[in-house]
Structure 1
Amino acid sequence: MSTTSPSNAQPSTTQPTGGNKAFAKSKLDWLAPAILTARTITAAAECAPFPYIKGVSGTVVILLETVQKVKKNREDLKELCESTTEIVMILHDQILAHGNTAVKFKAMCEELESYLAAVVPAVQNLHNPSKGFRKRVKEFVGSSNMTDEIAGHQKQIQGLLAAVDTNSKVNEMHAIMTAPSFVVTPPSQSINNCPPPSRIFQGRQTILAKMHKFFTPNSGKQLIYVLHGLGGAGKTQIALKFIQESSANFSDIFLLDASTLDTINTGLKNIAVSKFVGDSAQDALTWLQSKHGNWLLFFDNADDPKINLNKFFPQCNHGNIIITSRNPGLRTYGDHSPVSDMEDKDATTLLLQSAAKESSEENVQAAAAIVKVRDLRIIRQLLIFEQELFHLPLAIVQAGSFILQSEDIAGYLTLYQKNRAQLLSEKAVQSHDHYAWTVYTTWQISFDRLSQLAATLLQLCSFLHYSGISEDMFSNASEYSFPVWLPAKEELQEPLQFLSHFLGPTGEWNSLRFSEVTNEIKSYSLITFDAATKMFSIHPLVHAWSRNTLVDEAASHLCISSLLGMSVAEIAHHDMTLASLRLMPHIVSVRPFNADVGADFRVAFWHIYLSAGKFTEAQNLIEQTCEKYRLVFGEEHLATLEAMDRLGLTYWHLGEYKKAKELEVTVLDKRSKLLGEDHLDTLRAMGHLARTHSELRDLEKAKELEVTVLKERTALLGQDHPDTLMAMGNLAWTHCELGDFAKAKELRVTVLEKQTKLLGEDHPDTLLAMGNLARSHSKLGDFEKAKELEVMVLEKRIKLLGEDHPHTLMAMGNLAGTHSELGDFDKAKELELTVLEKQTKLLGEDHPDTLLAMGNLAKSHSKLGDFEKAKELEVVVLEKRTKLLGEDHPDTLLAMGNLARSHSELGDFEKAQELEVTVLEKRTKLLGKDHPGTLLAMGNLATTHFNLGDFEQAKQLEVTVLGKRRQLWGDRHPDTRLAMKNLIFMYRALDELMEAEELERLVKQIQMSL
């Protein structure tokens, strides 16, 4: 038995407790091995040359057996039994070691035997039912001076040990150990002061398997393993579980409380005393270094980063060490495992066991909901952050204890969501271990050790999203240049004061200082760092808890929202698409605490929302800004015009083209007067208006404006400037809409080459140019080349922007269209279903992009022969576009033509003809008689005339279509060849066989040349 009780260490292990009889019995299992030890010593004493120890050992057996028979509150007598048994063990070991000199212990043994003989009747008297048991125990302890008596015997023994001649120990020990009469076999494991792991221990098999593999016997070197992670993650329990499973592999196992220098030294001193090698920490280290047994040192709770733990490692090539710590820096000592959250199934099982609930289907579902991690969701611009237990073991055990008392597992989640801080701060009376802290108090201990600057940084980050926090967010804020119409220095004193701690003498950002502060927080595992992404993360529960440490939550929120706004404002002229991916979650997280955003960085946040495709949120912010600027500056002020321009751009993204045009006309007119027609801001307004004209299908007006913008930007900025290339791309788009696909392709090839050279292959603007060039290839009938480019664009956008970004969905829709053109209708349908689902969720049912996705899906249904489904979708598209865009809008006419086609496929040729006549008339008026869209409508109407038996009218229309398509694109274009094939049918229907055969020969020649 060890002279060091586990209770002397800082409570960090698990011991079962409970109220039923079986549970109570299990609490005194320590008596059985104690009795067995005493009996063994008694038997050995008969064979050894010092039989006088038999008397005291036999008396100890009687005492322990008497205590074991007590039926109530036997725990009150544990100290007596432990102390007495320790004395007997010391006597036994010392008599073995000192041989003939052991006669000096004879009197002491007799005295102890006499004392214990008097104690036994007193203990037996506790059975007397005349008084209450607790009163009897109290009287017994008080009257017998138990503690003082036992302490006196211990002191006598220690004094006698000091008097023993150390130099004679070796010879005397050899003589005794070689004596023929000596038959005592020393135990194989003389010390193991580690308690068992929790009885409800779950999972962690991956870590345990790694540890078992690591600690291989006879390695020829000292083996050190570190378990590191957040407080409450279960590091100590994993270590204890490993020790329980592999204790037979170690000669001695020592548990050291490593939380402070004092507790480490005390633990080592206890080892020295228990092994009778001295009474200092150095004595223990010397013994461990010289002893070539396979000992194990367990340094538990080595959390203080200021302690150099290496000073307490035996400096030798043997032995084993396990360390549990919140400090990941201790990984330097050996192999290691990060201890984080539990797996789903293990977490659920742990909750049910700690709550003493059976594993019924209903309970399992309730438990799974309590422990699981909920995704971040954005509803009505607010961050919905449902913080359950996030698989943290300590939080789960606390929840189980509460449920055990309330017996309401189904109602716990609602209660927890409303009272999270209170429930995670209170420790239940009944528990499964000796862990002294609750979830929140265990982190408070670490927090209290942080410097003021480190604590402030952690608290500020509690308003951000718990992942994706970067140094750049703060360093960019430090470069804030105080632009006009954004907050000035006097409004930003607190964030500037915070940033000053990370600036060098000349005001430059000091990354080393930032690293020192974050390293301090990391040393307690309150944050983690991903070297691959260079991003910090905070455990979601720590993230929520750290906000509870704030004294002035409003001031801290204003500070971090201002810092975030300063960072966004500084990068506003850089690539906002990538910035939006990094910053969007943080902006969404910050804003709910103060809808006014504080310090008025609405415009900065508007950039992020727009780039992230959150157009409705962007609209809310910029409308507020417009209203404020009108009141403060007036209608004619440049700040007001800038806000109006941004609002018009937002309306454009929302598909509200008429509202966008109204604002853009006003902005262009006022900027022209205030700044001049050649000013860059005027040209930007002109470009925005041109794009809106294009969406409203006033293509000639759009072209006129875009030619002007391109010419002026080339003169002012040069051919390779990003703004010049943007103007070139916009003009190419309009050429494409006008049917001049060759000119559009020429411009797009130039844009792509220059963007690739300037920005690289993976830049969002380069991918946009690549997608536009793919569209030109498709329009010119080169679908394979279009597919090749579109596959590349989609893959890169998914990797860069994610699967749900509007640009990614646009690429997916374009690729689906090309698959359809190539006849792979199933693949097209699969992609279009995905696009429609995501667009509906992202933009709403009525957004133009959603309706485009619905129309494309209807087209695929039609290609696959499901005409009823196609018709059903096309009716919805036509109704919504008519309401949103008007009867004459090109997109409305496209929907009408598609619906006509479905009517035709379903045999309703009269209805199809009615719609197609309308489409042709409106497109001719809107686009001109030679526009590809007009020719498409004419071809569709020709087919319907043919189906109705009006072959002559059908032929006349198809001859016109073929002639114009040959003129526009040549004979090899797919649409031209389709017109040829249609016309052949019509010639044959009219018995004009010579014309049919001549056209068939031309088609075959073209096919052979492809």
Structure 2
Amino acid sequence: MEETARQHFIIGDNLRHKAFYDDAIDEFSKALQIQQSVLPETSPVIAKTQYSLGLALRAIKDYAGALELLSKAASTFESQENAEDYETEIFNCQLNIARTHHSQGVDWQRGGDYDRSITEHRKSLVIREKLLGSKHLETARTYYVMGCALSDRGDFDEALSDLRRTFRTRRVIFGKDHMDTLEVIDNMGVVLHAKGVMSSEDIDQYKVVVVQSVQYELEGDMHYDSKNFEQAMLSYRRALALEEQCLGDLHPTTCDLYLQMADVMGELGDFEGSLVEYKSVITIYERLLGKFNIKVAEIYNRLANILMDKGEYETALSFYAKAYGIFDSLLGEHSDTKLAMENIRLAASKDRNASESMNLIKKAEETFKQRHPSAAGYTGPSADNGIESAEIKESEKQMEAIVKEPEADII
């Protein structure tokens, strides 16, 4: 039977590569049905078939089915005792999960459902940045489509920020005069025109300014990579001054520069200065995007990391808890949600006075497993089988109550 399954898989793989997706899905499904009847559920052979079937489903735009199978395959590969031997398979699963979120986001964007589109793009972006880095062309593609969706929704400031990130990457890869690079500059002008607060002359001036500010930023990156942190800080400050001159000091576009300066100060051992830069980012994001936003959660995480380095474990625990609440609500069962829970446990273990907090964490973690039954091998009831929304809300309140609000004491 295993040989029969293998033959179905080979035929399906050939059909998929020739773009006969429906026939490929039929062959993969036959292979999977046989494999699941004779092999353990955690077999990497099954995971390989799930992965290929997921790719075929994505090709016919069955995104929900694709995500389910790709996620199962990734979990199986990650659960192997010799998981290091499956690094390529894990990478490919995660990358194609990101691509599936991206494709789903584009479809919803074309249909005018900008809220769902942006949510999918953000899920894709989290994975692509982790796997490929923020300056990879594939990551920039997500920045670009998300910027367009944000603009269509009327979030012009945030759209401008994501388009600038796209421009920065294309500037490095294609050069400043390439048509794909110039296209982003033109789209930034369209966004500013749609916002309606700048004259045509001011918009043209900003197009010149953003080219120069990105050049300063790239010089800062070069100095940072060579560990010349003082020169890196100087370059980032020059870029920031140009951006603030045109957009003001409370604009998402400036946040990347504040974050880079925070990283530099951390490298220089100036944790207090680093916290000040994080304060600037949090102030901008919370004022313009609200506190319940993925970008805010990411900053909470980075801020908590600095606090951990300073040994301020209780306050770090609070920020990790805030990040967890946002990730869990917006991303659900996601690698960042799981990592946020791990960060909470780490911070609580460092804080010897956090025994009471640990009890709350255990309750919240159990709720997380119930809401996301595939997490950590959990096999209990799902959220649809007995977990009331009131219980979930109570767990979220417990997470928020781990420690007092820290902002006034920290930043």
Please state which band the TM-score falls in when normalised by the shorter chain.
0.3 to 0.5
Who wins on radius of gyration, i.e. which is larger? Answer: 1
Give me the TM-score of the superposition, normalised by structure 2. 0.42
Give me the TM-score of the superposition, normalised by structure 1. 0.19
* Higher-helix-fraction structure: 2
